[in-house]
Chain A
Amino acid sequence: MSAARRPPREFPEMPLDAPELRRILAGFVRNEVRKVGGERVVLGLSGGVDSSLAAFLAAEALGPANVLGIRMPYRTSSRESLEHAALVAEAIGIEIRTIEITPQIDAYFTAFPDAAAVRRGNKMARERMAILYDQSVVWRGLVLGTSNKTELLLGYGTIYGDTASALNPLGDLYKTQVWALSERVGIPAPVVRKAPSADLWHGQTDEDELGFTYREVDRLLYLLIDERWEEDEIAAAGFAPALVRRVAGMVRRSQFKRRPPVIAKVSARTIDHDFRYARDWGC
């Protein structure tokens, strides 16, 4: 939907100002961490708005002393990202550490010098995941996820990389909602207002790469997913039909990223098919 194509009729918009959201999400973190006998979480701090908000909610839930933020820069990571991560950690009052990932990433790709940027980005995301899970043992804390609903629905993340975590307070918030809540709780403005980026190369932004803005796609996804509108109804509301088709296709094709691996059923009772327990069963 371009700016010129205003929706011809009213359609429901996602709520941006749920007054109890902060309390509910902090309550979720506190409940899910303490229920497994824990007190702490660890997360990757990228300097972006998602990890900043997740860190804030965890600090509110568990106390800042129980939250560890780790910066994991590669040599091409922007200086600004590192500074923003430090700014956020200071504002929230949590401990921050830095673990470089350049040596191991470069060592791996000496064998594949022609590897494309996507492969390199995925490898970095999985290296960061591996570091967080390793550090979680030493810190005795759960790995806190920071993927938002927009990324998860579009599949704009690395499977077993940034999408991997023990618990995720942001997975039911669209990016637009992450921004709104971040502003409300006082995440430093430069972090909230900058263009979202995976920071894999200089000048990269999510929205350039995706070919649409988060604000546009979030309104579309809200109708498609939350309000269960049909694709042609969304197009009739003023969204470009090609964009509607493309986004719906992205949601469908990335379903595998949101599910555990497929298991071939041969026995009478198979994990996830007819062996059905809540995750909390294990607490």
Chain B
Amino acid sequence: MATTFTVGVAQVDCRLGDVEANLAIYERELREAKARGIDLLVFPELSLTGYFLKDLVPAVALDRESQVLRRLRELSRETVAFVAGAVEERPECRFYNAAMFFDGGELVHVHRKVYLPTYGLFDELRDLARGDRIRAFESRFGRAAMLLCEDLWHPSAAYVAALDGALTLIVPSASPIAGLGREVLPENAAYWQRANRVTAESYGVHLIYANRVGFEDGIGFWGGSEILGPAGEMLARAAYYEADMIAAEVSRAAVRRRRIVAPMIRDEDIDLTINELLRIRDRRAPAGAGAPPPAPVAARTPMRATTRKLGAKTRQTAKPAKTPRRR
């Protein structure tokens, strides 16, 4: 396993609904990344399809037999490892906003966006299915996790990824210009920079944020992709509002140094958190919506903070997935 590697971000524009054209952009960027010595290149959210897809979702989706998927796998063998932003079609005909990690000719891991924003100018939940898991995964570059855009605005998502052992957080995004004020960046972009930094620093992880540029129906994307070190330090930042490619060195050693100095993730009390969340879930059972869904027995039983028992109960409580949906 490489413990030091060069990660890059391809901050690109793309053509809405034109997967072939965007595949050509991927190929061009991947060849450039290889020439520049980048080991892992991250593309923005939905950069293989365009973002405001609406009724185009089924037309651009990649199923298991997709030739495009095959081509992406080949590209990861011919060039470098990369993270693609695409729509995944599952056998049960659900469509997901997906981040796909390709390496050495294989699709190593897929993250399906959990938090689909459906407010303001966003309407993702209308057209896409909601992912139901956040998992770290093993890669040639160490344990990593992917979160898609809005996922990172929910602190619990990064928390789960970090506790699952991720040393690197990969965050493809399609963040629009919204609320341009007196600063160079709009309000939401300033928030992104704060959230990225706090996340990297809180959990002692490298964070790779890949945002788009270009316009769709007048809505612009502000770019500003960045690579942060595990103390929240800026290792590289792309241009605002223009296409760019950035790269930085990421290493386990940097994470190790940080976690020795600031071992918060080691000290995290997972039992306490689970107990409190179960209590809160019970308390929040919706009023007036009939009887609350039956909580699993384990959920009502206060857990003791013994790791062994906890492991068993966690599995029990996770399985029924009766959590009332908030929307």
User: Contact residues of A with B, CB < 8 Å?
Assistant: 15, 17-21, 23-24, 27-28, 31-32, 35, 167, 275-281, 283
Residues 1-30 of B contacting A (Cβ, < 8 Å) = 13, 15-17
The answer for the CA separation of A283 and B14 in the assembled complex, in Å, is 12
The answer on a CB contact under 8 Å between B16 and A281 is yes
Contacts of A280 in B (CB 8 A): 16, 50, 52, 216-217
Contacts of A275 in B (CB 8 A): 55
Contacts of A28 in B (CB 8 A): 215, 218, 220
The stretch from B108-116, B178-186, B197-205, B249-257 touching chain A is B178-186
The answer on a CB contact under 8 Å between A24 and B56 is no
The answer on a CB contact under 8 Å between A32 and B180 is no
Distance of A66 from chain B, by nearest CB (Å): 18
Contacts of B218 in A (CB 8 A): 28, 32, 167
Contacts of B265 in A (CB 8 A): none
A-B contact pairs, 24 of them (CB 8 A): A15-B181, A18-B180, A18-B182, A19-B183, A19-B184, A20-B180, A20-B240, A20-B241, A23-B241, A24-B177, A27-B241, A27-B242, A28-B218, A31-B13, A31-B220, A35-B15, A35-B215, A167-B218, A275-B55, A277-B54, A278-B53, A278-B56, A278-B217, A280-B52
Residues 167-219 of B contacting A (Cβ, < 8 Å) = 177, 180-185, 214-218
User: In this complex, which of A23, A28, A275, A281 has the most chain B Cβ atoms within 10 angstroms of its Cβ?
Assistant: A281
Taking A32-B215, A277-B56 as contacts, is the C-beta distance between A283 and B15 under 8 angstroms? yes
The answer for the CA separation of A150 and B220 in the assembled complex, in Å, is 21
Q: Nearest CB to that of B177 among chain A residues?
A: A24
The answer for the CA separation of A281 and B56 in the assembled complex, in Å, is 9
Contacts of B242 in A (CB 8 A): 27
User: Contact residues of B with A, CB < 8 Å?
Assistant: 13, 15-17, 50, 52-56, 177, 180-185, 214-218, 220, 240-242
Taking A15-B180, A27-B215 as contacts, is the C-beta distance between A276 and B241 under 8 angstroms? no
Distance of A62 from chain B, by nearest CB (Å): 15
Contacts of B181 in A (CB 8 A): 15, 18
Distance of B196 from chain A, by nearest CB (Å): 20
Distance of A247 from chain B, by nearest CB (Å): 22
Taking A15-B180, A20-B180, A28-B220 as contacts, is the C-beta distance between A278 and B16 under 8 angstroms? yes
Q: Nearest CB to that of A169 among chain B residues?
A: B218
Q: Nearest CB to that of A23 among chain B residues?
A: B241
The answer on a CB contact under 8 Å between B240 and A281 is no
Q: Nearest CB to that of B180 among chain A residues?
A: A18
Distance of A57 from chain B, by nearest CB (Å): 14
Contacts of A32 in B (CB 8 A): 215, 218
Taking A277-B54, A277-B55, A280-B216 as contacts, is the C-beta distance between A24 and B241 under 8 angstroms? yes
The answer for the CA separation of A118 and B45 in the assembled complex, in Å, is 49
The answer on a CB contact under 8 Å between B182 and A17 is yes
Which of A19, A31, A167 touches B214 (beta carbons < 8 Å)?
A31
Contacts of B13 in A (CB 8 A): 31
The answer for the CA separation of A235 and B174 in the assembled complex, in Å, is 38
Q: Which 8 A-B pairs have the closest CB atoms?
A: A276-B54, A15-B181, A31-B215, A278-B52, A280-B16, A278-B217, A276-B55, A15-B182
Contacts of A24 in B (CB 8 A): 177, 180, 220, 241
User: In this complex, which of B54, B218, B220, B241 has the most chain A Cβ atoms within 10 angstroms of its Cβ?
Assistant: B218
Taking A18-B181, A24-B241, A27-B241 as contacts, is the C-beta distance between A279 and B215 under 8 angstroms? no
Q: Nearest CB to that of A29 among chain B residues?
A: B215
Distance of A40 from chain B, by nearest CB (Å): 18
Contacts of B182 in A (CB 8 A): 15, 17-19
Contacts of A283 in B (CB 8 A): 15-16
Q: Nearest CB to that of B179 among chain A residues?
A: A226
Contacts of A278 in B (CB 8 A): 16, 50, 52-54, 56, 216-217
Distance of B257 from chain A, by nearest CB (Å): 36
Distance of A223 from chain B, by nearest CB (Å): 15
Contacts of B185 in A (CB 8 A): 20
The answer on a CB contact under 8 Å between A27 and B56 is no
The answer for the CA separation of A20 and B189 in the assembled complex, in Å, is 13
The answer on a CB contact under 8 Å between A20 and B16 is no
The answer on a CB contact under 8 Å between B180 and A281 is no
Contacts of A281 in B (CB 8 A): 16-17, 56
Contacts of A23 in B (CB 8 A): 241
| Given pairs A276-B54, A283-B15, 6 additional interface contacts (CB within 8 A) | A18-B183, A23-B241, A275-B55, A277-B55, A280-B16, A281-B56
The answer for the CA separation of A278 and B54 in the assembled complex, in Å, is 7
